[in-house]
Amino acid sequence: MQATNLFDQSNYDPQDPNPWLALYLDMSLPLRDDVKAALLANSSSKSRQFLLPLIRPLAKGTIILIQLLKIFIPNRFTSSKLLHRSIYWGLRWFVRPDANYMILRHFHIGSEILQFVANNVPEIEIPLHPLRPRNLRDLVDNVFLQHDLNIYNFIIRLNRELKARGSELTRRETLNVACITDGPFDIDQDSLPRGHLNFLDLESAIEIYTPLYELFLTDSDFWRACNSLQLDETVAIYVAKLIGDSSYVSLVNNKHPLVPMATTQAGYRLMLHGLAAESLHASLVRFKQRVVEHQ
């Protein structure tokens, strides 16, 4: 991607070191170069620097107003179809291509992480609904809402089966890693819009869409979507138990789902959710590569 070239070709001045270059070169997290470059290109963008400080308080205030409105008319404006079409329209016309790339990646990653856990729990079959959007148009098909449903349904079905059998997740000597993609996902990057208006960074876009989530979803759907962000820790623990290595769990910032955070923090937490998912998937890619090397 162009963002990768931007950092690879960046000049280094010891008297004025580029903080974004430092983060790009840092290897403490096992992220792909193109993923780090896309995240950092958004973080260092003008829209995040100048627009996000204005957008974030307005978005939080709007969330509070909509919460008050829904006390009196809880489901008057709900429409998942309209929500997804409005998100698609906004992503197509206003959001940066590297931000759209990260959004599409996220659904592939979430599907593969859940598939990895499901594939490595013995004698338990868990029905899954994998999401593999190739382009922005594919997001219209209820993808955002289905992503949240997938996580909760997976946790409920997995733990019901484990409790019924009186068992728990433990380290497996042999793990099925076939579902983990260790190369590019099937995403049509050439189709991502690159018009003059596609300037909005990922974090600003998320802050704008969070109030729309609350407006067009039922109260139950919105709270479920917000609280799902803290399930990063839960899923990371599942993976850690299967692998027998809990070191990754300490890197998760969306923690403690039994103590849910306020919905006004959902925008920033969604960024943390994306980073946690990318880091966990990258760890599984490295794990897969070690498994293949020893076969």
pLDDT tens across 130-158, in order? Answer: 999 999 999 999 999 999 999 999 999 99
CB distance 172 to 146 below 8 Å? no
8 and 98 co-located in one domain: no
Tell whether the model's pLDDT for residue 194 goes beyond 60.
yes
Do 27 and 66 have their domain in common? no
- Indicate the helix (H) or strand (E) that contains 31: none
- 271, amino acid identity: M
Distance set, CA 177 to CA 104, 130, 235, 274 (Å): 22, 16, 16, 21
Same domain assignment for residues 85 and 34:
no
Q: Quick one: 4 and 126 in the same domain? A: no
Give mean pLDDT, residues 10-14: 88
Residue 292 confidence (pLDDT):
87
Please report which helix (H) or strand (E) contains residue 197, including its range. none
Specify the residue for token string 């309209």.
82
Of 10-14, 118-122, 171-175, the range with the lowest mean pLDDT is 10-14
pLDDT of residue 82: 96
Asked if residue 119 has pLDDT above 80, the reply is: yes
| pLDDT at residue number 265 | 92
Considering the domain architecture, whether residues 37 and 99 belong to the same structural domain is answered as no
Higher pLDDT, 117 or 70: 117
Share of the chain above pLDDT 70, in %: 98
Is 34 in the same domain as 75?
Answer: no
Q: What pLDDT digit, counting tens, does each position of 219-253 carry?
A: 889 999 999 999 999 999 999 999 999 888 988 98
**Residue 11 pLDDT more than 90?**
no
Q: Which two tokens stand for residue 186?
A: 């099937």
What are the C-alpha distances in Å from 130 to residues 174, 195, 230? 24, 31, 21
Shared domain for 7 and 111, answered yes or no, is: no
pLDDT confidence of 161, banded at 50, 70, 90?
very high
Between CA 66 and CA 63 the distance in angstroms is: 5
**H-helix or E-strand containing 215?**
helix 202-216
Shared-domain flag, residues 114 and 246: yes
The pTM score is 0.95
Write out the residue range of the structural domain in which residue 84 sits: 46-293
Residue 169 has pLDDT above 80, yes or no: yes
Neighbours of 41 (CB within 10 A): 24
Q: Give me the sign of the Cα torsion angle 59, 65, 68, 73.
A: negative
Q: Which residues contact 23 (CB under 8 A, 6 or more apart)?
A: 36, 40
Give the pLDDT of residue 3. Answer: 66
Each residue's pLDDT tens digit, 23-60: 999 999 999 999 999 999 999 999 999 999 999 999 99
At 2 the pLDDT is 62
95 φ, ψ (degrees, to nearest 5)? -100, 145
58 and 159, same structural domain?
A: yes
- Of 244, 241, 242, 229, nearest to 276 by C-alpha is 229
Are residues 15 and 159 both part of a single domain?
no
* Listed range (68-77, 185-194, 230-239, 285-294) with the worst mean pLDDT: 68-77
Say yes or no to pLDDT of 1 above 60. no
pLDDT (average), residues 165-176: 94
Residues 7 and 74 in one domain: no
pLDDT score of 186 = 97
Mean pLDDT, residues 182-198: 96
| Mean of per-residue pLDDT scores for the chain | 94
**Are 12 and 140 members of one domain?**
no
What's the N-to-C CA distance of the chain in angstroms?
Answer: 33
How many structural domains comprise the chain? 2
